[in-house]
Amino acid sequence: MVHSETTHRTQEILMDERTSPLPRHDTASVPPAAGGVPGFTYEPMTSPAAPEPPARRRGAGLRRVGELSAVAVLAATLASGGTYAATTALDRPSATTSAESSGLGADSSVVPVTDAQKTSPDWEAVSSAVSPSVVAIAVKGAEGQGQGSGVVIDDQGHVLTNNHVVSGAGRDAQLQVTLADGNTYTATVAGTDPSTDLAVITITDPPKDLKPVSIGSSEDLTVGDPVMAIGNPLGLAGTVTTGIVSALDRPVATEGESQDEDPFAPGQGSASSATVVTNAIQTSAPINPGNSGGALVDASGRLIGINSSIATTSANSGSIGIGFAIPVQQATMIAEQLIENGSAEHAFLGVSTRDASATVGSATRAGAEVGEVTPGSPADDAGLRSGDLVIAVGGAPVTSSTSLVGHVRERAVGSSTELTVIRSGKEHRVEVTLSRRDSAN
């Protein structure tokens, strides 16, 4: 039997796996039962363009006319009116692409840190190897100015960063990239993808000795692995901090910008809010405003994630040891498309869902209950039915609608995976091949 949260707002991931835009909140109460602490907010991490007194820096983001950057919150609203944080550290599913085949990043031989031990990483060597590949990004435009971070991913001058780092200052914003050696270059936008909060910018006339990062594998991570974050927090370029992987596949949703209001997209549409959903790497490495778009690397100096958001409290808008990074497998998959096409395709399942639970024997399982199934969609072709409760994708647990969205978004168009569903009190496994979302869906 499936038990729906009848007072829960249905998650509108309808047919294209998108959650409904969230209202802007100053705080998001995460119930302790969901593994959180009351009073969290989740926010992007751009910082003001110039240093400010500490009291003004708290929670500061990329400034726009009349408002600060949107405060990000977890997505699924409970009946109590709070927000839901995923509770369980999960094993990673099969990657959509492999780092080795991505074509991005330096050869491993470029990075001298290849055999670091997890028990005693040589952070000095890691910092020395990776810092030249991490840049500071300054953005200035009619609608605001700010700073963020980025990662050099090839020797052609392409830098991977967050969409919210480059998009908040308006259509004609000027970009500058400062390398670790202190040299500053102008840059242009190669492409943005608001739905994953990723962007690629291109350094104009990059130096010949540009050092791309060595790309690792986020699917090989385990909870407890040591990591280093490198970026430009509060304008302090080249800052490194260390910590561990605190959780994997953490479903996190932040308020972002829809494709229609992306200042680098062709044409103009009405301004609207979109929800960025990521099955994120959670880390304890301290990251702060300005770290957005920077590198999260493993003990061998290889890129495993792009830092994108942090959790804060009303009493502390800086780092509290809960940061989130976009896994490198997803980031490089999107980056390749942005470099080639200026935009990215996204996998399409074709369902609307809501948070619910079901019983199998004496156990109760949480998951995403299927509402609508689009005729002719991958979900329809696979035999999914209204009322099915999706509890796993590719063997990785699904605990909510947000979790399902994250699993779909991290997969490539045309990839196949197995969904585990509960139907009439029994588990079933369904093979589905994700297609490309188009304007008709």
**Calpha distance 266→87 (Å, rounded):** 39
> By C-alpha distance, which of 335, 143, 326 is closest to 251?
326
**293 and 230 Cβ atoms separated by less than 8 Å:** no
Active site residue 115: no
3 state SS for 171-226: CCCEEEEECCCCCEEEEEEEEEECCCCEEEEEECCCCCCCCCCEECCHHHCCCCCE
CB 437 within 8 A of CB 16: yes
Cα 166 to chain centroid distance, Å, stands at 15
Q: What is each CA distance from 161 to 157, 293, 306, 408, in whole angstroms?
A: 13, 4, 7, 21
CB atoms closer than 10 angstroms to residue 224: 10
Containing H/E element for 323?
Answer: strand 323-327
Q: Which of 32, 28, 42 is nearest to 278 (CA)?
A: 42
217 counts as catalytic: no
One-letter amino acid at 408 equals: V
Q: Is the dihedral of CA 252, 341, 412, 93 positive or negative?
A: negative
The DSSP code for 95 is: -
Length of the chain: 441
User: Which residue in 29, 246, 284, 292 is the catalytic one?
Assistant: 292
Per the annotation, the verdict on 193 as an active-site residue is: no
**CA angle in degrees (0–180, nearest 5) for 104-107-112:** 130
Radius of gyration of the chain (CA): 21
Q: Which of these is catalytic: 131, 154, 164, 407? A: 164
Asked if 350 contacts 378 with a C-beta cutoff of 8 angstroms, the reply is yes
Q: What are phi and psi of 166, to 5 degrees?
A: -100, -15
Do residues 283 and 243 lie in contact, with contact meaning Cβ atoms separated by under 8 Å? yes
Residue from 154, 197, 298, 388 carrying the catalytic annotation: 197
Regarding beta strands 302-313 and 214-215, do their DSSP bridges make them parallel or antiparallel, or are they unpaired? Answer: parallel
Active site residues: 164, 197, 292
